[in-house]
């Protein structure tokens, strides 16, 4: 037992060291940008001592993240959570071995069939192809189904984080193609990953007005309480892609607005570096109407999170189609970006901060390896 405990401590220390080293490099880039624009300020530790400083899994270097959040948010918040600390918390609250399948996009319709998602044309699971109803289809039928569409989206069914390997294919003559080339049976045969091919969603005009080229999505950050198992919505964001991009990620040039409890967006959008914008695509953000169907989005988010028992921190991505229907795109169980929540709204976990930190002080890491 002593050896096992020692190994666990070594694994934990190695995990935290690797996470901190990587994130510190990223933080230096962000802080350098703020310094260059003369927008950098040190967090007032003495006047507003951060709660996280009381816990042993917070390293002194982690507190540098508070400078970044304070500089952008504009007010000191003792509930700020540094990124490396969040990644530690995430491993305590989310069991990777038991939530890995939830990230598999082909699993969503089996796991929660009542939750609306974009219509699937073809899916490949563990090397075999199926239609929308999970009926096996051969190579010829796959190609027939794809040829019925004029525009569709191909995604890896697992690990498309950050938009990795997502293709938007549009019919040009007889071929479905994008900048990478044409989709054909030979390419599908050579593509080694499992995938899902879905219909292209035409967005509701409220969302498309910010950037017609990108799928501008709603992200909902949920927490399932370690005390009473209740599902709580901590933050809602509206993510807008960069001009010319289909993807809405801020690391690809997009911007983010927060959505408050009254379904109104913040009067400023924020990019990856903490720059603030009063308008997007010529739209005065302070004059925007309420975000459509947010009550339904929140209801769906609680339903989805309520079905995920081994993941207490989830980031859920939704799109809204032109018929005003919210559709679940993805469930993110780990490595969720947290900076936009805190740049807009302050402390990440709000009133649940001490509850979560106290739990994680006693909990064990649940990586993909169990000791």
pLDDT of residue 96: 87
pLDDT of residue 40: 97
Q: Above 70 in pLDDT, residue 238?
A: yes
Question: Using CA of residue 297, residue 156, residue 197, residue 217, what is the dihedral sign?
Answer: positive
pLDDT of residue 371: 42
Is the model more confident about 16 or about 323?
323
pLDDT of residue 364: 63
pLDDT of residue 368: 43
Average pLDDT rounded to a whole number, residues 334-338: 88
Q: How many CA atoms lie within 13 A of 118 on its CB side?
A: 27
Please state, in angstroms and as integers, the Cα–Cα distance from residue 181 to each residue in 2, 155, 171, following that order: 57, 15, 12
How is residue 31 written in tokens?
A: 């802080």
Q: Given pLDDT bands bounded at 50, 70 and 90, which one contains residue 101?
A: confident
Q: What is the pTM of this model?
A: 0.92
Q: Packing angle between helix 64-73 and helix 2-36, nearest 10 degrees?
A: 40
- CB-based contact 320:293 (threshold 8 Å): yes
pLDDT of residue 165: 78
Q: Given pLDDT bands bounded at 50, 70 and 90, which one contains residue 182?
A: confident
Is the model more confident about 102 or about 54?
54
What would the pLDDT profile of 279-292 be if each residue is shown by its tens digit?
Answer: 999 999 999 999 99
Average pLDDT rounded to a whole number, residues 93-101: 89
> What's the distance, Cα to Cα, between the start and end of the chain in Å?
11
3-state SS class at 330 = strand
Measured CA angle at 276 (ends 274, 280), to 5 deg: 130
What would the pLDDT profile of 152-164 be if each residue is shown by its tens digit?
Answer: 999 998 865 555 5
Q: Given pLDDT bands bounded at 50, 70 and 90, which one contains residue 230?
A: very high
Q: Which residues make Cβ contacts (< 8 Å) with residue 21, sequence separation at least 6?
A: none
pLDDT of residue 9: 62
pLDDT of residue 7: 64
Parallel/antiparallel/unpaired status of strands 175-178 and 181-183: antiparallel
Please state, in angstroms and as integers, the Cα–Cα distance from residue 360 to each residue in 30, 92, 159, 276, following that order: 28, 6, 27, 34
Is the model more confident about 111 or about 363?
111
pLDDT of residue 179: 83
pLDDT of residue 369: 43
Average pLDDT rounded to a whole number, residues 86-101: 91
pLDDT of residue 159: 65
What would the pLDDT profile of 117-162 be if each residue is shown by its tens digit?
Answer: 999 999 999 999 999 999 999 999 999 999 999 999 999 988 655 5
- CB-based contact 185:224 (threshold 8 Å): no
Q: Above 50 in pLDDT, residue 370?
A: no
What would the pLDDT profile of 296-332 be if each residue is shown by its tens digit?
Answer: 999 999 999 999 999 999 999 999 999 999 999 999 9
How is residue 299 written in tokens?
A: 């209801």
């Amino acid at each position: 037992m002593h050896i096992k405990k020692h190994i666990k401590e070594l694994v934990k220390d190695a995990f935290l060291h690797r996470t901190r080293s990587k994130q510190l490099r990223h933080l230096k880039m962000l802080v350098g940008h703020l310094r260059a624009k003369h927008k950098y300020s040190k967090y007032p530790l003495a006047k507003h001592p951060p709660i996280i400083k009381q816990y042993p899994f917070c390293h002194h270097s982690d507190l540098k993240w508070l400078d970044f959040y304070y500089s952008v948010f504009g007010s000191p918040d003792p509930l700020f959570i540094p990124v490396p600390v969040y990644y530690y918390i995430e491993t305590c609250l989310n069991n990777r071995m038991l939530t890995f399948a939830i990230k598999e996009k082909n699993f969503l319709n089996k796991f929660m069939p009542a939750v609306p998602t974009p219509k699937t044309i073809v899916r490949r699971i563990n090397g075999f192809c199926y239609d929308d109803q999970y009926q096996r289809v051969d190579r010829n039928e796959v190609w027939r189904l794809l040829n019925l569409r004029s525009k569709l989206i191909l995604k890896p069914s697992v690990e498309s984080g950050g938009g990795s390997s997502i293709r938007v294919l549009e019919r040009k003559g007889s071929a479905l193609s994008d900048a990478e080339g044409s989709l054909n049976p030979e390419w599908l045969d050579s593509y080694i990953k499992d995938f899902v091919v879905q219909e292209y969603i035409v967005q509701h005009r409220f969302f498309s007005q910010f950037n017609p080229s990108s799928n501008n999505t709603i992200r909902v950050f949920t927490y399932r309480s370690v005390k009473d198992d209740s599902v709580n919505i901590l933050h809602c964001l509206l993510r807008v892609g960069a001009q010319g991009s289909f993807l809405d990620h801020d690391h690809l040039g997009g911007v983010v607005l927060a959505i408050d409890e009254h379904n109104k967006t913040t009067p400023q959008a924020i990019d990856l570096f903490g720059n603030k914008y009063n308008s997007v695509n010529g739209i005065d953000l302070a004059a925007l109407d309420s975000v459509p169907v947010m009550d339904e989005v929140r209801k769906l988010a609680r339903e989805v999170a309520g079905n995920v028992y081994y993941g207490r921190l989830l980031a859920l991505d939704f799109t809204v189609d032109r018929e005003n229907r919210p559709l679940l795109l993805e469930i993110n169980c780990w490595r969720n970006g947290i900076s936009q929540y805190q740049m807009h709204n302050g402390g990440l976990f709000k009133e649940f901060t001490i509850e979560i930190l106290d739990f994680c002080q006693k909990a064990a890491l649940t990586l993909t390896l169990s000791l």
